[in-house]
């Protein structure tokens, strides 16, 4: 059996999976990312888990794919990563040295999700598409002619930090009006608390604090008829669709896939997003782009996406 190892490096946990080309996870493991205090100790923990998978597997490991925040495919390094025990690290070269394995690939988590959609999900027969992850923030991976777009620096495709609202909400990156501050789980929460004054506090969720509020609560209330919550989804979809129209103009994708917690609200976010995108598209692009739900299983999407880097590079 030939397999790849997919690794998802998160701020809380690191997850690993032994995955065959048909997308079946045969073995999995995880450990606390926070158990390491620097890169050297983290690399030792990671390599211990990798060696355990290889040692207990019958078959050939064709390579390792890694998805991580602020990962640079060109350099094989993690650069200025938030919420990791190390700020920057030469991940690929160090693992190659320890594991004596040449085929190790690294990219950011949104690019890994895009590659996972290509290899295992709904984009198998699509050569040009954009993957949007709607989580705490907004991540994106752009695929053109079956290849991920990295650009000259390796960091191309940061669509979450394109300006959706000039002089809008302050972003953690220091800019104002970034798309992820409107179209994400955090963004829709901010929309609710901005709009509640317009509704004179009339909402079934008026008693919920910002820290306790979730996009799932907003979805449930909207489905139960809460007008404010419904408007939050309409507003979020409008901003997202308007930005999608801009994205279409530079890469002309066949489809835009949505993944993540906010995407799970289905028609509440899909319908206003599609309507807004079509409204703002140039005529030549109207009716040419689908907005589709990701077909990746949410619980395994990260390791599947990371492992897809190996199959892409065979």
Paired with 19 in beta bridges are 4, 25
Domain enclosing residue 46, as ranges: 2-119+299-312
Higher pLDDT: 58 or 207? It is 207
Task: Clarify whether residues 308 and 209 are in a common domain.
Answer: no
Judge whether 43 and 94 are in contact, CB under 8 Å. Answer: yes
Whether residue 160 sits in one domain with residue 177 = yes
Does residue 215 surpass a pLDDT of 90? yes
Q: How many domains does the chain have?
A: 2
- What is the Cα–Cα distance from 16 to 190, expressed in whole angstroms? 34
Quickly state the pLDDT bin for 191 (edges 50, 70, 90). Answer: very high
Handedness of CA 8, 14, 19, 22 (dihedral sign): negative
Mean pLDDT, rounded, for 38-56 = 96
Co-location of 112 and 169 in the same domain: no
In this structure, how many other beta carbons lie within 10 angstroms of the beta carbon of residue 225? Answer: 9
Kindly report the CATH number assigned to the domain that includes residue 70. Answer: 3.30.420.40
* Cα–Cα distance, 265 to 242 (Å, whole number): 19
89 and 137 inside one domain: no
Residues 101 and 201 in one domain: no
Does residue 307 sit in the same domain as residue 163? no
Whether 155 and 114 share a structural domain:
no
The answer to whether 192 touches 213, Cβ cutoff 8 Å, is: yes
User: In whole angstroms, what separates CA 272 from the centre of its chain?
Assistant: 21
Question: What b-and-e string marks burial along 130-158, b requiring 16 or more CB atoms within 10 Å of the CB?
Answer: bbbbbbebbbbbbbeeeebbbeeebbbbb
Which range among 183-187, 205-209, 263-267, 296-300 shows the weakest confidence by mean pLDDT? 296-300
pLDDT grade, residue 34 (50/70/90)? very high
Spatial CA neighbour of 77 closest among 36, 38, 111, 108: 108
Measured CA to CA in angstroms, residue 76 lies from 25, 108, 153, 202, 204 at distances of: 25, 10, 12, 51, 48
Percent of the chain scoring above 90 in pLDDT:
91
Same domain, 77 and 62: yes
State whether residue 285 is helix, strand or coil: helix
Asked if 269 and 303 sit in the same domain, the reply is no
Residues 198 and 50 in one domain: no
Q: What integer pLDDT is reported at residue 211 of this predicted model?
A: 95
Do 138 and 266 belong to one domain? yes
Q: What is the pLDDT of residue 304?
A: 95
My answer on whether 286 and 186 are in the same domain is: yes
Q: Is the pLDDT of residue 126 over 90?
A: yes
Kindly indicate the confidence band of residue 81, based on its pLDDT and cuts at 50, 70 and 90. Answer: confident
Average pLDDT, rounded, for the chain: 95
């Amino acid at each position: 059996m030939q397999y790849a190892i997919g690794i998802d490096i998160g701020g809380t946990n690191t997850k690993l999976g032994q995955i065959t080309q048909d997308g079946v996870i045969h073995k999995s493991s995880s450990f606390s990312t926070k158990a390491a205090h620097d890169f050297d100790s983290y690399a030792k923990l990671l390599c211990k888990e990798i060696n355990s998978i290889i040692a207990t597997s019958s078959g050939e490991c064709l390579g390792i794919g890694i998805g991580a925040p602020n990962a640079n495919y060109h350099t094989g390094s993690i650069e200025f990563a938030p919420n990791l025990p190390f700020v920057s690290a030469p991940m690929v070269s160090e693992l190659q040295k320890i594991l004596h394995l040449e085929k190790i690939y690294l990219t950011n988590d949104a690019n890994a999700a895009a590659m996972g959609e290509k290899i295992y999900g709904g984009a198998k027969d699509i050569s040009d598409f954009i993957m949007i992850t709607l989580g705490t923030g907004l991540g994106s991976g752009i695929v053109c002619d079956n290849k991920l777009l990295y650009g000259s620096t390796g960091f191309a495709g940061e669509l979450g930090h394109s300006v959706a609202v000039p002089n809008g909400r302050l972003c953690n990156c220091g800019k104002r009006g970034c798309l992820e501050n409107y179209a994400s789980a955090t963004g829709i929460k901010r929309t609710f608390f901005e709009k509640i004054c317009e509704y004179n506090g009339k909402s079934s969720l008026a008693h919920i604090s910002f820290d306790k509020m979730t996009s799932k609560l907003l979805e449930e209330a909207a489905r139960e008829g809460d007008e404010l919550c419904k408007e939050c989804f309409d507003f979020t979809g409008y901003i997202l669709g308007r930005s999608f129209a801009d994205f279409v103009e530079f890469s002309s994708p066949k489809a835009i896939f949505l993944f993540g917690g906010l995407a799970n609200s289905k028609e509440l976010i899909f319908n206003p997003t599609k309507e807004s995108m079509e409204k703002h598209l140039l005529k030549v692009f109207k009716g040419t782009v689908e907005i589709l739900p990701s077909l990746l299983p949410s619980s395994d999407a990260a390791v599947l996406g990371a492992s897809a880097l190996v199959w892409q590079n065979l």
